[in-house]
């Protein structure tokens, strides 16, 4: 658990973003939480970040935590979204090359039916009816829609992909974390058609704590 620099709420670190202060006193997002230095944690939620930024609360909270002045990107939510989209694309590529991801309706449904799925990613611009049809009978598998179909398609060498099934493993866990963070930061995230992924991570954090 980590404490949000703005709300002071303690949350699983998987639902937050770590920052470190660079040599020039700029705040650097540390999505992998591996950079050296004292970490400052912020909830990955636009409804926390935007009001705090508009009122000047955000920069003051970071400065207090960093014990000195800091500089923020002019549009922090957009910068974080861009970084997370890039990270999700990288992780999805690794997952595909490891043979732990399959794209397409029929192949994905077969993985779902045989219990081989930890996570489903769907195109954010895909048909709501088609997304729901794919998930019929899928149970409590977390479902997120972090990328449009063209971006998903590029990972699989296709023009457009709507459904991606992800097998259990560390890569799936990382994708779940990053896609859930991105959903929290997006202005109009596509609603998941199954169990809320943040709730899944809360349950797992509680079980491991």
* pLDDT for res 196: 47
Percentage, residues of the chain above pLDDT 90: 85
Per-residue confidence (pLDDT) for residue 138, from 0 to 100: 85
**Does residue 198 share a domain with residue 134?**
yes
The domain containing residue 11 runs over which residues? 2-72
Q: Does residue 85 sit in the same domain as residue 148? A: yes
pLDDT at residue 193, rounded to an integer: 46
Among 136, 140, 98, 102, residue whose Cα is nearest residue 121: 102
Range of weakest confidence among 79-88, 136-145, 168-177, 195-204: 195-204
Angle at which helix 197-208 crosses helix 170-185, to 10 degrees, equals 130
Alpha-carbon 173 to chain mean position? 10
CATH classification at residue 103: 3.30.1330.30
User: Which ranges in 22-75 belong to alpha helices (H)?
Assistant: 46-54, 57-66
Q: Which residues pair with 28 in a beta bridge?
A: 20
What CA–CA distance (Å, rounded) separates 80 from 132? 29
Better-scored residue on pLDDT, 208 or 29: 29
Q: What is the pTM of this model?
A: 0.87
Q: 115 and 27: one domain?
A: no
Do 176 and 161 belong together in one domain?
yes
Question: Residue 155 in contact with residue 92, Cβ under 8 Å?
Answer: yes
pLDDT digits (tens, 9 = 90+) for 191-209: 554 444 555 555 555 555 5
Query: Mean pLDDT across the stretch 43-56?
Result: 95
The CATH number given to whatever domain includes residue 24 is: 3.30.1230.10
Q: pLDDT tens digits for 73-82? A: 888 999 999 9
Single residue among 72, 90, 107 that ends a domain in this structure:
72
Domain closes at, from 57, 72, 87: 72
Question: What is the chain's alpha carbon radius of gyration, rounded to the nearest angstrom?
Answer: 18
CB neighbours (10 Å) of residue 13?
Answer: 15
């Amino acid at each position: 658990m980590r404490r949000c620099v703005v709300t002071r709420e303690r949350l699983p670190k998987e639902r937050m973003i770590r920052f470190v202060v660079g040599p020039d006193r700029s705040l650097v997002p540390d999505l992998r939480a591996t950079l050296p230095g004292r970490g400052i944690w912020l909830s990955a939620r636009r409804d926390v970040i935007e009001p705090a930024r508009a009122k000047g609360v955000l920069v003051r909270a970071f400065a207090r935590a960093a014990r000195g002045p800091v500089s923020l990107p002019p549009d922090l939510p957009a910068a974080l979204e861009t970084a997370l989209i890039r990270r999700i694309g990288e992780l999805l590529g690794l997952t595909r090359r490891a043979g732990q991801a399959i794209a397409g309706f029929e192949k994905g449904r077969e993985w779902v039916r045989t219990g081989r799925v930890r996570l489903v990613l769907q195109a954010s611009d895909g048909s709501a009816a088609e997304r729901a049809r794919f998930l019929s009978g899928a149970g409590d598998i977390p479902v997120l829609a972090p990328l449009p179909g063209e971006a998903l398609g590029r990972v699989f060498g296709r023009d457009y992909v709507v459904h991606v099934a992800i097998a259990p493993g560390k890569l799936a866990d990382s994708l779940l974390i990053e896609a859930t963070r991105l959903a929290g930061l997006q202005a109009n995230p596509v609603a998941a058609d199954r169990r809320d992924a943040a709730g899944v991570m809360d349950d797992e954090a509680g079980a491991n704590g």
